[in-house]
Structure 1
Amino acid sequence: MSDPIKIGISACLAGQKVRYDGLAARAEHLNGVLADHLEFHPVCPEVACGMGIPREAVRLVGSPENPRLKGNRTGRDWTDAMREWAEGFLPEMEKAGLCGFIFKAKSPSSGIGRVKVYPESGGQPISRAGVGLFASMVMERFPLLPVEDDGRMHDVGLRANFIERVFTEHRWRRFLDQGPTLGGLIRFHSRHKMLIRAHDVTGYRELGKLVAQGKGMDLNVLLTRYHERLARTMARMPTVRKNVDVLMHILGYFKKLLSPDEKQECLEIIENYRKELVPLIVPVTLFNHYVRKYDLPYLREQYYLNPHPLDLKLRNHA
């Protein structure tokens, strides 16, 4: 894509020395090839709301449902300062057109989950299921935005799912920027059909029905409903079973074209993938070969066969 895919990222993960101890927490698995395809927008909510560098470490205190952000040693309450800053920042974040956000895992300001919450009296944490103050505000304001943390991004399946969601969100925003029409939505949906199906068959069917009913709906209402269902569907994790279903569906487009030996080869490779003897990239590469060989425009345009750059290697382990 010629236009950059913008995502937010906790500044410490990008290598900025903004942590409470004056150091960074550069995440090498996020700053390699991935950074070549994404435009990072670093944010440190703690520094932005007025905390210094270095500074007293903070933690979540009180109830897990509505915690306060306080200094570990002095108990200074930073909750209102961070909320005030975030309320001013979130509209700017919306204008930036971010297609995702990678947060610092377990951070009291930026963790998307698994954050410790301590009692007012001190002592051991009463919960390990808190959400960072800034992260919770982002997810509440932008419930459809793909979000992850650096810890979960070590998992190849979670990383692949996040990146697929980010790229899909970027394509959606580009579609809207070009002036959305019903015909454009039909084309967008058509190119994403198999990718959507690999994430959730129910969502795939519901989105298809929604597009089919488009002529009788207000376009803005249609686009809002479609995006909401698309985001929820893409958030569902693909599985081997779902991918096998899609691969067999693709094979059906070749039934009158492939020789008996070619068809048998496809079936064997799909079965090897089902048994997890080969990664997903193997059958996908074979199908891309046959798409070119037999010149099938519909399959050539399917994002399932090319959802993101090959050098990310996201399908080499799935």
Structure 2
Amino acid sequence: MFTSPETTPAKRLKVGISACLLGIEVRYNGGHKESRLCSQSLAGYFDFIPLCPEVAIGLGIPRATIRLVGDPAAPQAEGGHMPSGPMSEALHTYGQRMAAELPDLSGYIFMQRSPSCGLERVKVYQPNGNPADQGGRGLYAAAFCAAHPDLPVEEDGRLNDPVLRENFLTRVYVYAAWQTLLGEGLSRHALTEFHARYKYLLMANNPLQYKALGQLLGRMGDEHIDALGSRYFSQLMAALKKCATRGTHSNVLQHLSGYFKKSLNSEDKQEVQHLIEQYRLGVIPLVVPLTLLKHHLRRHPDAYLQRQAYLQPHPENLSLRNAL
């Protein structure tokens, strides 16, 4: 029988976060940039690990502001009370150290536009005093992410977008499921079962990669399972970064409805099709046709469909699909 996280308690996941986003007063001016989404809504599901690299390397509170300068692809930090070279190296080293000390994170939320923590579009100033057209990445974030390239990461501001928020949190829970699988022991059978569980989620986010990953597992050959698993998972996480659309969600909903073609009467089938079309047209949110399909699944159980992560990829009480 299909069970939701309301009846099966969700495991609390460890997620890294820029400390200022939890209301901790670590910013250059002694303030914070609390995100209530993080400090209130998500704190009920995650064990946040708050970090502030600027404080960690000794810049103090309050402190002079720092900024990035030079080549946007390899910027340096300047400002504060440390010389540019040592400060840049300290932020880089701290990122590597935290990446090594926190291998069990399932995701990371960074402070946007920060010269230490920003993921993209961070201003990198040129000799003429103007920022380069091409933005850079914060020095700490760059080092941390380089050590964990598959880890789901996002900036706080982008989480205000319901599509980006749902995409990020879905990837966090997929990453955590992979960590659990590795802990239990990876095998060819376990890898195949994992892929089957995430079939429709992948189809919704990235139909082309859904086919490519299926082909990858279809020709496993004699490749060592650890190498194969690493290659598969990296491609899976890259594929899931692409956000699902109403069109791709509708396609998956049609696939799911096909499992009930022999069990529903014509009136029930028409209702399902009507709601899928209403969703595709933007009249209703995704949660509406999904709720109906899960209702029919409870009445007409199907073992394969019941284990599909697509039906509930994250705790139901987060209500993420109410806004899609």
1:128 Cα deviation after fit = 5.6
For 1:80, the equivalent position in structure 2 comes to 89
How high is the TM-score relative to the length of structure 2?
0.93
State the distance in 1 between where 2:235 and 2:123 align: 32
List aligned pairs for 1:216-231, cutoff 5 A. 216-231=222-237
Q: Is the 8 A contact 1:182 1:215 kept in 2?
A: no
State the distance in 1 between where 2:46 and 2:237 align: 19
Partner secondary structure for residue 59 of structure 1: strand
- Determine if the alignment matches structure 1 residue 214 to structure 2 residue 220: yes
Structure 2, gaps ≥5 residues long: 1-8
For 2:58, the equivalent position in structure 1 comes to 50
State the distance in 2 between where 1:81 and 1:217 align: 39
- Determine if the alignment matches structure 1 residue 158 to structure 2 residue 164: yes
Partner secondary structure for residue 40 of structure 1: strand
Moved more, 216-225 or 278-287: 216-225
Q: Is the 8 A contact 2:16 2:109 kept in 1?
A: yes
State the distance in 1 between where 2:182 and 2:91 align: 32
Structure 1, gaps ≥5 residues long: none
Q: Is the 8 A contact 1:10 1:44 kept in 2?
A: yes
1:191 Cα deviation after fit = 1.2
- Cα distance change of structure 1 residues 272 and 216 upon mapping to structure 2, 3 Å threshold: same
Q: Residue 184 of structure 2: which of 175, 178, 188 is its match?
A: 178
- The higher-RCO structure (CA 8 Å, 6+ apart) is 2
- Determine if the alignment matches structure 1 residue 92 to structure 2 residue 98: no
Moved more, 144-153 or 25-34: 25-34
How high is the TM-score relative to the length of structure 1?
0.94
Partner secondary structure for residue 322 of structure 2: coil
For 2:26, the equivalent position in structure 1 comes to 18
Deviation by residue 1:2-50 (Cα, 9 ceiling, x = unmatched): 5431111001101211111111111112222211111111110101111
List aligned pairs for 1:138-149, cutoff 5 A. 138-149=144-155
> AA paired with 1:281?
V
> AA paired with 1:21?
N
Q: Residue 63 of structure 1: which of 52, 67, 71 is its match?
A: 71
1:124 Cα deviation after fit = 3.0
> AA paired with 1:142?
H
Q: Cα RMSD between the aligned structures?
A: 1.6
Q: Is the 8 A contact 2:124 2:136 kept in 1?
A: yes
State the distance in 1 between where 2:98 and 2:314 align: 30
For 1:264, the equivalent position in structure 2 comes to 270
> AA paired with 2:152?
P
> AA paired with 1:79?
S
Q: Is the 8 A contact 1:33 1:311 kept in 2?
A: no
Q: Is the 8 A contact 1:69 1:79 kept in 2?
A: yes
Q: Residue 245 of structure 2: which of 239, 242, 260 is its match?
A: 239
1:120 Cα deviation after fit = 3.8
- Counting aligned pairs with the same residue, the percent is 39
1:211 Cα deviation after fit = 2.2
State the distance in 2 between where 1:173 and 1:79 align: 32
Matched residues, number? 314
Q: Is the 8 A contact 1:113 1:131 kept in 2?
A: yes
